[in-house]
Chains A and B, each alone.
Chain A
Amino acid sequence: MNSSGNSESSIDDESRDEPVEGWSVDQYIASVPDNCARFMEPFLDELARRGWSGRDEFGIRMAMEEAIMNAIDHGNRRDPSKTVHIVIRLTSARFFAKITDQGDGFDPLKLPDPTLEENLENSRGRGVMLIKRFVDSATYNQKGNSVELRKVRSRI
Chain B
Amino acid sequence: MEPYECIDLVNMENVATITFKDKRIMDPAKIEQMGKELLSLVESHPSEKLIVNFENVRFFSSAAINKLLVLEKRVRAQGGSLRLSNLRPEVRDLFSYTKLDSVFTIEDESSPSF
Contacts and interface: CB of A to CB of B under 8 A. Distances in A.
Contacts of A121: 69, 73, 103
Contacts, number: 65
Contacts of A66: 61-62
B97 A123 contact: no
Contact of A130 (B24, B26, B69, B94): B94
B73 A34 contact: no
Contacts of B102: 117, 120
A114 B29 contact: no
Contacts of A127: 62
A55 B27 contact: no
Contact of A37 (B26, B66, B94, B100): B26
A54 interface: yes
A37 B30 CA distance: 11
B98 A126 contact: yes
A89 interface: no
Contacts of B88: 58
B26 A65 contact: yes
Nearest to A115: B99
A111 interface: no
A129 B93 CA distance: 13
Interface residues of A, number: 26
Interface in B59-114: 59, 61-63, 65-66, 69, 73, 88-91, 93-94, 97-100, 102-103
A49 interface: no
B71 to A, nearest CB: 12
Interface in A94-134: 114-115, 117, 120-121, 123, 126-127, 129-130, 133-134
Contact of A55 (B61, B66, B90, B98): B90
Contacts of B66: 123
Interface of B: 24, 26-29, 58-59, 61-63, 65-66, 69, 73, 88-91, 93-94, 97-100, 102-103
